[in-house]
């Protein structure tokens, strides 16, 4: 039951981790609409048509594949884009960053437990986790999905971790810098 919930959470986030590989859902080849998979943050920013932030502190986890730019489907706004980057090559440790220009979440992760608030770049961010209920692990464990969400200047940010301490996720978000 626990692993089914973890996999379902991963799929909701747009990432599926199996046998050490992560792939991103909803990706389409780059085309005139600006959607696709990109090797650089600059190319992803150009396709997304809004200013992106990129991580500077990834707990030494390499980026797992390309940066994905796709439509923010849940909002039914054809002009809203979501940009997703995943860091980590195993199913045991992962950080990811999703940012969209709809100002709202593009998808939900279902039931979560509130774990408090932190400051990220001068903005209050909500920390939640898939933990502490329905036979899931304690929220003190690192073997849980943690989520950090915040809005700034009309952009919605969603940072995720698995196999990482809460302070690592907060540091990941605090280390975000504008793409040049």
Q: 60: burial class by Cβ within 10 Å (0-12, 13-18, 19+)?
A: exposed
pTM, two decimal places: 0.82
CB crowding 6-40: b at 16 or more within 10 Å, else e? beebbeebbbebeeeebebeebeeeeeebbbbbee
In angstroms, the CA 73 to CA 41 distance is: 22
The per-residue pLDDT string of the chain (180 residues; one tens digit each, 9 = 90 and over) reads: 444 344 434 444 443 332 222 333 344 444 556 789 999 999 999 999 999 999 999 999 999 999 999 998 765 656 799 999 999 998 899 999 999 999 999 888 899 999 999 999 899 999 999 999 999 999 999 999 999 999 999 999 999 999 999 999 999 999 999 998
């Amino acid at each position: 039951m626990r692993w089914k919930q973890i996999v379902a959470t991963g799929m909701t986030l747009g990432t599926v981790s199996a046998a050490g590989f992560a792939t991103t859902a909803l990706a389409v080849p780059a085309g005139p609409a600006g959607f696709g998979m990109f090797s650089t943050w600059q190319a992803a920013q150009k396709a997304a048509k809004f200013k992106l932030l990129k991580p500077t502190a990834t707990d030494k986890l390499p980026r797992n594949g390309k940066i994905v730019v796709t439509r923010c489907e849940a909002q039914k706004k054809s002009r809203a884009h979501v940009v997703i980057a995943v860091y980590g090559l195993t199913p045991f440790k992962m950080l990811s960053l999703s940012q969209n220009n709809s100002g709202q979440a593009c998808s939900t992760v279902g039931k979560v437990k509130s774990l408090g608030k932190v400051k990220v770049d001068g903005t209050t961010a909500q920390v939640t986790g898939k933990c502490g209920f329905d036979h899931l692990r304690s929220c003190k464990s690192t073997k849980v999905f943690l989520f950090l969400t915040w809005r700034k200047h009309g952009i919605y940010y969603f940072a995720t971790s698995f196999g990482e301490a809460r302070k690592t996720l907060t540091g990941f978000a605090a280390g975000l810098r504008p793409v040049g």
